[in-house]
Amino acid sequence: MTAGGMKAGGMFELIRLTIRNPLGGWLVLAARNWTLADRWGLVFATAAASAILSWLGAQLLPASGGEAGLLAVLAASPMSMAGVQVASAALGAFLLSEVGRVFGGTGRFPDALLAVGWIEAIMVAFQVVQLLATLILPPLGALVGIASLLLAAYLMVGLTMAVHGFRNPLLVVMGILGTVMLASFLLSVLAATLNLFPGGPA
């Protein structure tokens, strides 16, 4: 049994439903008895699972010296990776709820947190598939990775519409892109101000 009273078999069935029909999947998901603690638990659990899978992938498929970067550093430290993912999920849920409400949406932060956590859960499932595919045939793993990114974007648009009751997917896409660009710019300015970039001036 998982958070929200969901059994493992039901979870995979709900994943399939969400991929086929994000609104239908959201209605089933949101109808379950999710407390706020359950929603946070989903975020923490998916972050932990993703961090462990990233670490496992780094051990089984070590990157060459030229490919080592921030992601490789985080993958080597599951706790750091999980912390970054939880923070990213919390920020994403906050932006999803507040920006959506600015444009007339009806979703609240707990709804956005559940939506983000559920997207992460689906991505963890695909991360397992990608790791297995990469071990068997690396090019296939790369294709699964690309498909996962496209699926994540599709689910973000679909679940944003479901959470806020939006009807126009094009406007949602534009809103998400604008929010991501603005948030990235502000975070970059903050990082530069605090000298968080590696190799930056002391």
18 located within any domain: no
201 located within any domain: no
Name the one residue in this structure whose structure tokens are 């479901």: 162
Query: pLDDT at position 116, please?
Result: 96
How many whole angstroms from its chain centre is CA 101?
A: 21
What one-character DSSP code corresponds to residue 197? S
Least confident of 1-15, 106-120, 127-141: 1-15
pLDDT of 69 above 70: no
88 located within any domain: yes
Q: What is the mean pLDDT of residues 81-90?
A: 91
> Where residue 202 falls among pLDDT bands split at 50, 70, 90?
very low
146 located within any domain: yes
Higher per-residue pLDDT: 196 or 122: 122
The range of the structural domain enclosing residue 169 comes to: 36-193
Q: What is the mean pLDDT of residues 94-115?
A: 94
Condensed to tens digits (0 to 9), the pLDDT of residues 15-45 reads 999 999 999 999 999 999 899 999 999 999 9
Which residue, among 161, 35, 41, 56, has the nearest Cα to 110 in the 3D structure? 35
101 located within any domain: yes
Query: pLDDT at position 66, please?
Result: 47
List CB contacts of 46: < 8 A, sequence separation 6 or more: 85, 89, 117, 120, 121, 123, 124
10 located within any domain: no
> Where residue 93 falls among pLDDT bands split at 50, 70, 90?
very high
Q: What is the mean pLDDT of residues 174-201?
A: 75
79 located within any domain: yes
